[in-house]
A and B are shown apart, each in its own frame.
Chain A
Amino acid sequence: MSDTIVSRLHTLPVQDRRLVVALAAAALVALIIGLTGGLLTALVRAGFLSVLPESGYRFLSVHGVSAFFYWLYFAQAALVLGFSAVERGNGGGATGLLGRPLAGLGVGAMVLGFILGLAATVMGSPPLYDGKADLLADEPLTVLVFSLGYVLLGLGLMLCPASAIVTLLSSLGRDRRKVLDAIGFALLAWSGFLIVTGFAAIHAFLPALLWSMGLAAFPVGQETGWHILFHNLHYLPLMATVLVWYILMQALTGARSVFGARFSKLVFSLYLVFVPPTSLYHMFLDPGLPEYVKVAGSALSLFVSVPTLTAFLVIVASLEVHARAAGATGLFGWLRRLPWEHPATTAAAMAVINMMFGISLAFVLIQEKLAPLLSDTFFVPGYFHFFTVGTVSLSLLAGLTVLLPGLTGRALRWPGLLRALPWVASAGLLVFGGAGVAAGYMGVPRRVMDVTYGGEAPALWSTLMGLVGAGGSIMALALLAYAATVLASIFGRQEADRGKRISSIHWDALPTGRTAAWTGPLSILVIAIAMYGFSTLGFELLQAVPLIATGAASH
């Protein structure tokens, strides 16, 4: 059995394994709660569940807080800690976390933050997931509990990655390796980004917390802090996603990048270069934003996909070349050679397809001239679920399906079900996202429970929300089953065979020769055609709006 980052998991000290497994379990619990909130929200929006709008907003708050924040960050922290601990042993050294008390403290802070966040969603007015202080100005106790939750999350996001960084750097030294390889480098960068996110969360919510305690003035600048945090929330998980793909490629097939470790490091570094300057598009609808800032913001935002697309190309081309060297033929025949027997392959493959939808649609929203057509509409949740659910969540779940059996020594339960569920979830997502994007083009607002407006709104709005509810329900139920199955695998008694590789593929040797890899370039072509199509549709609809609007200004 060859030495990989996954094969070394069982060598971790038992305390490390317990810590990471506890964090992963917390992630799955957060996902299950978040999906339940999302399912109820979808049913209310579709008109399938009749409750007061306030209850609908409460469901939405639970969904956003649990799924968008705590699931994503518990899972990322579990993966970064687990893989950093074993990456330390890359090349023959000891494995295990350094600074474990730091990580333990971080996990405790995040779990406490999660409990507080959930409590805030049922205390007073629904805070949604952003907990805007001006909407809760009459409820300082709600603000206190909600903000303290996110501040603790931020603290945890600084402490856990700090432990990972110390661990990774300890693997370097005179008698050890001189530089980190691609995965070690990516884990280091990922940890750094998590710390930045943690700081952004504290920066955004500490002023509100201090105000709620009577220690500071009202946080009038909370919106700016939120935008900084929100941009991080959007794009950092994408780096986590491509790194999980990278690890899965090696763990499931033995394949390594045909472009070399240095190129992969460069690609991972691109997140640092391209993500921070591309945040302006979240504010295009703010009337006070000068026109030249909007134009510059649009142009810069075109670069936001560069790291993700390049990393995708590296992974797809590497897999294709290895598969062809192993005898695969035909344009897409190499796909049949992938280790489909492991559930992670299906989840990661569906994540790639969903990413193509997500990126194509994201390019519509970054155009400032289209903001008056689409911002604040259901286009936004319609498109970002392709990322947060279809791409990121499926990838993180795929990562957990290789991390957890390696840590617990227990096999996954019902692997056949786990192989099928990503297809079901993605089918539901396609209905949810397709109807949601169409609704957005028509002006259906996001964050509204009843879109009929007393019969004043077009009847088609309700039809589209019905499709959103149906698709969202299928997606949520499939992912609930997936998360519950992975969670049950932690506590199962079925022992995994430690000597057995996790898949039947062994592409350990780097292929030589002039092997073509056309799938990646063709995928980029498909993405380009789709993003041109969606943008053109937006421009045409914008021009068809029977309104001439000039002179947006605020004073």
Chain B
Amino acid sequence: MVPEKHITTRRGFIATLGFGGVSLYGLWAAYGAAPSPTSLLTASENTGLSGPGTEMTMPEHVGMGSETDVDAFRAEVSAFVDRFSEPDGTVYPRQSAAAADPSHLGMAEMDMSTDTHTDHAGESRAEMLGAIEVLLLAERYYFDPSALRLDLGQTYRFRMLASDVTHGASIQFGDGARMIRLQAGTETELELTFTRPGNFLVYCTSYCGPGHDVMQARITVA
């Protein structure tokens, strides 16, 4: 028996096609950008995108939602810049001698459940884990420090704060970029490892006022 309507004019066919965009989930799963159907069933898989781009996981040791003391952070940035300033005007953060010898750390300082965002113990713990702490203050219309010198392959724990309004602290790599948005008054932490040497532009990507265009810094990776 021949159906009364051609398949292309049946409601079921049209309704199914309307969901055509949902098929994109397969591509996402193939790139590891979304849980695969099997992991959804087991609900235990990590959904990180494989490859060097981003691995966005939430570390358990950081607190959420609290406002940061801007003046205290500004003082930390000032100390950070003073400590690591180079004659050429760049700031070159390096591992401290103490961190190079982790045997000096007591058990209390190795407690990863403690919130550690303002003290030197925290800095040492980050270093002990292989990450060197970098502080970055974003304020209308500049970054402090404005020129960073970093080592290739070294992991840095960036602690960033927009002190007044929402700013961006995005990094440009020539043929792509890493967008970073900083909410006003809320410290953002991100561990970054640069895998290619070069001079990279840091720029504000969230409109912050008439001087937005000039808000930039530079990271030199060697």
Q: Contact at A286–B58, with CB atoms within 8 Å?
A: no
A353 to B56, CA, bound (A): 36
Interface stretch, picked from A168-176, A209-217, A246-254, A294-302, is A294-302
Q: Which residue of A lies closest to B19 (CB)?
A: A306
B173-206 residues with Cβ-Cβ distance < 8 A to A are 173-184, 186-196, 198-199, 201, 203-206
Cβ–Cβ < 8 Å partners of A369 in chain B: 28, 31, 33-34, 49, 53-54, 56
A264 to B216, CA, bound (A): 52
Q: Which of B13, B191, B195, B214 contacts A551 (CB 8 A)?
A: B191
B107 interface hit (Cβ, 8 Å): no
What's the nearest-Cβ distance from chain B to residue A519, in Å?
9
Q: Contact at A309–B18, with CB atoms within 8 Å?
A: yes
Cβ–Cβ < 8 Å partners of B74 in chain A: none
Q: Contact at A374–B35, with CB atoms within 8 Å?
A: no
Q: Contact at B216–A442, with CB atoms within 8 Å?
A: no
B1-17 residues with Cβ-Cβ distance < 8 A to A are 2-6, 8-9, 11, 13-15, 17
Q: Contact at A545–B52, with CB atoms within 8 Å?
A: yes
B32-79 residues with Cβ-Cβ distance < 8 A to A are 33-35, 47, 49, 51-59, 62-66, 68
Q: Which of B33, B65, B191 contacts A539 (CB 8 A)?
A: B33
A163 interface hit (Cβ, 8 Å): no
Q: Which of A287, A303, A317, A441 contacts B176 (CB 8 A)?
A: A441
Instruction: Give 9 CB contacts A-B under 8 Å.
Output: A369-B49, A443-B177, A457-B203, A527-B20, A542-B51, A545-B53, A546-B173, A551-B190, A553-B190
Count, chain B residues at interface, CB 8 A: 93
Q: Contact at A371–B171, with CB atoms within 8 Å?
A: no
Q: Contact at A458–B186, with CB atoms within 8 Å?
A: no
Return the 10 tightest CB-CB contacts between A and B, nearest first: A443-B177, A310-B18, A546-B196, A543-B51, A542-B53, A369-B33, A54-B210, A376-B205, A447-B207, A548-B193
The contact size tier of chain A is 35 or more
**Scoring A residues 278 to 321 as 1 if CB is less than 8 Å from chain B, else 0, what string do you get?**
00000001111011001100110011111101100110010001
A359 to B28, CA, bound (A): 17
Q: Contact at A298–B28, with CB atoms within 8 Å?
A: yes
Q: Which of A286, A441, A543, A555 contacts B66 (CB 8 A)?
A: A555
B111 interface hit (Cβ, 8 Å): no
**Scoring B residues 149 to 176 as 1 if CB is less than 8 Å from chain A, else 0, what string do you get?**
0000001000000001110101111111
Cβ–Cβ < 8 Å partners of B218 in chain A: 456
Cβ–Cβ < 8 Å partners of A553 in chain B: 58-59, 62, 64, 188-190
Q: Contact at B27–A303, with CB atoms within 8 Å?
A: no
B115 interface hit (Cβ, 8 Å): yes
A86 to B27, CA, bound (A): 47
Q: Contact at A313–B65, with CB atoms within 8 Å?
A: no
Q: Contact at B9–A291, with CB atoms within 8 Å?
A: no
**Scoring A residues 420 to 457 as 1 if CB is less than 8 Å from chain B, else 0, what string do you get?**
00000000000000000000011101111110011011
What's the nearest-Cβ distance from chain B to residue A423, in Å?
27
B21 interface hit (Cβ, 8 Å): yes
B94 interface hit (Cβ, 8 Å): no
Q: Contact at B14–A317, with CB atoms within 8 Å?
A: yes
A550 interface hit (Cβ, 8 Å): yes
Cβ–Cβ < 8 Å partners of B176 in chain A: 373, 441-443, 541-542, 544-545
What's the nearest-Cβ distance from chain A to residue B32, in Å?
8
Q: Contact at A313–B179, with CB atoms within 8 Å?
A: no
A121 interface hit (Cβ, 8 Å): no
A304 to B25, CA, bound (A): 13
Q: Which residue of B lies closest to A302 (CB)?
A: B22
B24 interface hit (Cβ, 8 Å): yes
A134 interface hit (Cβ, 8 Å): yes
Cβ–Cβ < 8 Å partners of A448 in chain B: 203, 205, 212-213
Cβ–Cβ < 8 Å partners of A517 in chain B: 6, 8-9
A528 to B206, CA, bound (A): 32
**Apart from A367-B33, A372-B178: 11 A-B pairs, beta carbons within 8 A:** A291-B56, A299-B34, A302-B21, A373-B178, A443-B173, A539-B31, A544-B53, A544-B175, A548-B155, A550-B57, A554-B64
Q: Contact at B210–A550, with CB atoms within 8 Å?
A: no
**Scoring A residues 365 to 382 as 1 if CB is less than 8 Å from chain B, else 0, what string do you get?**
001111111111100000
- In the complex where A515-B9, A531-B24, A555-B187 touch, is A374 in contact with B192 (Cβ < 8 A)? no
Q: Contact at B58–A290, with CB atoms within 8 Å?
A: yes
A106 interface hit (Cβ, 8 Å): no
Q: Contact at A456–B205, with CB atoms within 8 Å?
A: no
Q: Contact at A521–B17, with CB atoms within 8 Å?
A: yes
A337-379 residues with Cβ-Cβ distance < 8 A to B are 359, 363, 367-377
Q: Which residue of A lies closest to B14 (CB)?
A: A313
Cβ–Cβ < 8 Å partners of A295 in chain B: 34-35, 47
B208 interface hit (Cβ, 8 Å): yes
A514 interface hit (Cβ, 8 Å): yes
A328 interface hit (Cβ, 8 Å): no
Q: Which of A128, A290, A368, A554 contacts B187 (CB 8 A)?
A: A554
A163 to B30, CA, bound (A): 50
What's the nearest-Cβ distance from chain A to residue B123, in Å?
16
Q: Contact at B58–A372, with CB atoms within 8 Å?
A: no
Q: Contact at A551–B178, with CB atoms within 8 Å?
A: no
